[in-house]
Chain A
């Protein structure tokens, strides 16, 4: 303490500092033995029985320090929990150790440091949690991506399968149609053709069912066309009468019209709905009859299928439209998809299906769908007008499937066209460029250049003839893609040949 302070102040400061610092002074000789002490030893736990050990620990603090070195260790925590500033002051014959209380200062510093450290630890933990979260998020993203890939693969597979079965089915049904017109009068041949047609249609229906299910209920895009319930009824009768006859079941199909003209809907999907309901009824009805009614009342198309089968218990009716649902106590064959698909298709067409059933008496399924006349493609309505082909009208048919190519050629020639064929889009492009036809009928999926690309290039070159694009793909926006490329009409395989002729004769849609 400066000698310059006035005596009173010096005394006052000494009292204050001694009170605050509680100094203890210990003297050790050269050998390290404690020889003198000053101050309040008890404050630092240096008195009493444990004092000797504590003092020994103090001595140990100076391990490695030179005999004549002054050493200061701030903030040393003693065994009794107090913290001190520790000073070692040598004097030639030993050394002094001075302890100054630092407990208050250390406590304050500890409080601040504790908060800071805990905040940083918590921050680090938070960062780790965020990293883990991001990792999990990344993994989920990868899984989602894998699922998407898998789904895309499935969709691609479905597209391929769809194309693969639709193309030959178009050929089978097309040739049957031609043959019916040529040899239909001969009873044996007519019967055989009906059998082929029935089998092909059933095969198609089965594949359509699987497609609908595999594509999450979407199935093929809706293909609107005018629906004549009488014609549909006739087709259903032709298809299923032989099957009901084999089982000695009574069978009737009626179709009625309102005075408001024809409704519009998807012929194939309606036929699939009826096929599934009638097929189901045939499967479960052992005796009695099956009656089908197709009605158009000017507002809704109603399909009703009644049977005298075993009926469905009320508790099972709720889940009868679930996929893979089976009626208890029956061993009927099938995957259990038929009714689920009926419901999906009915809903896709804007309607629904209802069931009334009494065990032991039979069941009545009723599907009602609205007419979609307001969404009908102009080319389809134009079809009602009889298409008369002017002599010399030239058509180019491009399809890589030779059977289908030949069938389309035959049909168009019968209708009056002069027909050329091409087995690839490239060839079609070359032929059409060299000698533009009045009509181009082209398949989308062909090896090499796609049909859409060829159409696009032709349109880009100024080709103004009519283009009808065919596709077996049910995936996504196949129709939009074809129309965007420049097609006037898009038809899904299996192609209804009469629809093709109507589409070929129609005006280009704006």
Chain B
């Protein structure tokens, strides 16, 4: 087991694009077809950093607005969480923040970044700019698009930096 490996969990409501973000980040692929995740899917990618490479072991956990006992078990051993919401569905932001609170009760103070996904549909976003500005004061926030790849590398890199 490598000392430089870090477990990170993607948390967010269903349909926000967690699996697509991992596919974009790990395999640089994207599919328009929505396929719900059951349980968990684990992927990994090595992140090269000036201080040495770090392996992100990425747990893509089935999307829910709240963690049940099963999902909480997946969090065990995680160093960081990547919260994902859908900019076109404002309630998913509230879910993401609630999931962070739940993760904190299990993990203590994990490193966290927030991804507001579906930037390619920004015309339909319900999440207001001033809300994003407010959230930025509490954690790193990235506007991302799994479809185009915008912001995806930067978001994972930022989490890797926090975990290094």
Chain A contacts to B: CB under 8 angstroms = 32, 57, 59-65, 71-77, 83, 102, 106, 109-110, 113-114, 117-118, 120-121, 124, 128
A residues near B57, Cβ cutoff 8 Å:
60-61, 63
The answer on a CB contact under 8 Å between A64 and B74 is no
Q: Which of B71-120 contact A (CB under 8 A)?
A: 73-74, 76-79, 88-89
Contacts of B77 in A (CB 8 A): 62-65
Answer whether A106 and B38 are a contact pair too, CB < 8 Å, given A60-B5, A63-B1, A121-B15.
yes
User: Contact between A117 and B44 (Cβ–Cβ < 8 Å)?
Assistant: no
Contact of A117 among B1, B7, B15, B88 (CB under 8 A): B15
Report the bound CA distance from A109 to B34 in whole Å.
15
Chain A CB within 8 A of B40 CB: yes
**Given A63-B6, A64-B78, A64-B79, A77 contacting B1 (CB threshold 8 A):** no
Distance A37 CA – B113 CA, assembled complex (angstroms): 39
B44 pairs with A75, CB closer than 8 A: no
For A76, the closest partner residue in chain B by CB is B40
B76 pairs with A110, CB closer than 8 A: no
- The reply to whether the CB of B25 lies closer than 8 angstroms to some CB of chain A is no
Most chain B Cβ neighbours within 10 Å, of A64, A74, A110, A128: A64
Measured CB to CB, the closest approach of chain B to A14, in angstroms, equals: 26
What residues of B have a CB within 8 angstroms of the CB of A32 in the complex?
1
Q: A64-B79, A71-B76, A74-B70 are in contact. Are A83 and B42 (CB under 8 A)?
A: no
Residues of B within 8 A of A (CB): 1, 5-7, 14-15, 34-42, 44, 55, 57, 62-63, 70, 73-74, 76-79, 88-89, 124
Given A60-B57, A72-B73, A117-B14: A110 and B5 interface contact (C-beta under 8 Å): no
In the bound complex, CA of A59 to CA of B89 (Å): 37
A/B interface sample: 26 pairs, CB < 8 A: A32-B1, A59-B1, A60-B44, A60-B55, A61-B57, A62-B1, A63-B1, A63-B77, A65-B77, A72-B73, A74-B39, A74-B70, A74-B73, A75-B38, A75-B39, A76-B39, A76-B42, A77-B42, A83-B38, A106-B39, A109-B38, A110-B36, A117-B63, A121-B14, A121-B15, A121-B34
> Which partner residue on chain A sits nearest B91 by CB separation?
A124
- The smallest beta-carbon distance between B120 and chain A, in angstroms, is 16
A131 to B40, CA, bound (A): 35
The answer to whether B5 and A63 have CB atoms under 8 Å apart is: yes
Cα–Cα, bound, A61→B41 (Å): 10
Collect the chain A residues with CB atoms within 8 Å of residue B38's CB.
Answer: 75, 77, 83, 106, 109-110, 113
> Do residues A57 and B36 form an inter-chain contact, with CB atoms below 8 A?
no
* CB neighbours of B78 from chain A (8 A): 64
Report how many A-B pairs have Cβ atoms within 8 Å. 78
Task: Supply 13 further A-B pairs (C-beta < 8 A) apart from A75-B40, A109-B38.
Answer: A57-B42, A60-B1, A61-B42, A62-B77, A64-B76, A73-B40, A73-B73, A76-B39, A77-B37, A77-B39, A77-B40, A110-B38, A121-B14
Instruction: Give Cα distance in the complex from A65 to B57, angstroms.
Output: 14
Minimum CB–CB distance from B20 to chain A (whole Å) comes to 14
| CA A62 to CA B77, docked complex, whole Å | 8
Question: CA–CA, A76 to B40, complex, Å?
Answer: 5
**Known contacts A59-B1, A121-B15; A64/B39 CB under 8 A:** no
B-chain residues with CB within 8 Å of residue A113 when the two chains form the complex: 36, 38, 62
Residues of B within 8 A of A71 (CB): 76
Looking at the assembled complex, report how far the CB atom of B81 sits from the nearest CB atom of chain A, in whole angstroms: 13
Q: How far is the CA of A61 from the CA of B40 in the complex (A)?
A: 11
Q: How far is the CA of A73 from the CA of B42 in the complex (A)?
A: 11
CA distance A77 to B34 in the complex (A): 17
Chain A residues with CB under 8 Å of B5's CB are 60, 63
Q: Which of A60, A62, A72, A118 has the most CB of B within 10 A?
A: A60
Distance in angstroms between the alpha carbons of A321 and B39 in the assembled complex: 77
Q: In the complex, how many angstroms separate the beta carbon of A99 from the nearest chain B beta carbon?
A: 13
* Contact A114–B39 (Cβ < 8 Å): no
Q: In the complex, are the beta carbons of B73 and A83 less than 8 A apart?
A: no
Return chain B residues, CB-CB under 8 Å to A76: 39-42
Among B1, B37, B89, residue most surrounded by chain A Cβ atoms (within 10 Å): B1
Closest 7 CB pairs of A and B: A64-B77, A75-B39, A77-B41, A63-B7, A110-B38, A60-B57, A32-B1
Contact A118 B40 (CB under 8 A): no
| Chain B residues, Cβ within 8 Å of A65 | 76-77
Q: Which residues of B contact A73 (CB under 8 A)?
A: 40, 73-74
Give the Cβ gap from B75 to chain A, nearest Cβ, in Å. 10
From B124, which residue of chain A is reached at the shortest CB distance? Answer: A128
Q: Roughly how many angstroms separate A288 CA and B40 CA in the complex, as a whole number?
A: 101
Chain A residues near B76 (CB, 8 Å)? 64-65, 71
Nearest neighbor of A105 in chain B, beta-carbon distance: B38
- Write out the residue numbers on chain B whose beta carbons fall within 8 Å of the beta carbon of A121: 14-15, 34
